[in-house]
Amino acid sequence: MTAAETNKQGRRFAKAAVFFVLAAAWVALDRVSKSFFDGMEPGSILAGPYLGLIDIRLVHNTGGAWGIFSDSTFGLGVFSLVVCAALAVYCLATLKSSTFAQVVSFALIVAGGVGNAIDRFAQGFVTDFIEFSFMDFPVFNVADIGVTCGFALLVIALALEWRHEGASGKGEDAR
C-alpha cells in the first residue's frame, strides 16, 4: 500500500470516527437534557426568560413540528429511524468523497432523529422544552437543534462544494 493510499484510508477512518463519536455524543447530550424533566408535568414555564430570548417550558409532543401528524408518535418514530439508517449508510458509503463538514452534518441529523425516536418509542411522545419568548415558534429540544443545524450545515457544505466544482471546471455547468 502506498503512502497516498494509507493517507486516504486514514482520512476515511477519521471521518467515520467523527461520524460515530459526534452522533453518540449528541444523542447523549439530548438524553441528559431531557432527563431533567422526568416526572414533571407539562405546561407552564419552568424558567426564563433568559436574556429575553428563551423560556424553559416542558411540552410532550405526540406529533411533528408545528403539530403536524399529531398523535402519530409510533409512525413518526419508525419513519425517523428509517431515514436515519438511510442517511448513516449513505454517509458511511460516501466517506471517500465526503468532506468533514458533510460528515458532521449527517452525524447531527442522524443523532437528532435517533434522539427523538428514542422518546417516541420509550415514552409515546417527544420531550420538548426550549421555547423562544420573542416569537411564535414550536417548542424544541437538543435533538431538534442537531437536525436543524445539521441540515443547514449540509446545505452550506454542498453549496460550497458545487461552487468549487463549477469554478474548477469539474461541474457540468463549466462546459
For residue 42, cis peptide bond before it (omega within 30 degrees of 0):
no
Alpha-helical segments (H) within the chain: 3-35, 73-93, 100-123, 142-168
Residue 87 near residue 41, CB atoms below 8 Å:
no
**Which residue type occupies 107?**
A
Residues recognised as catalytic: 128, 144
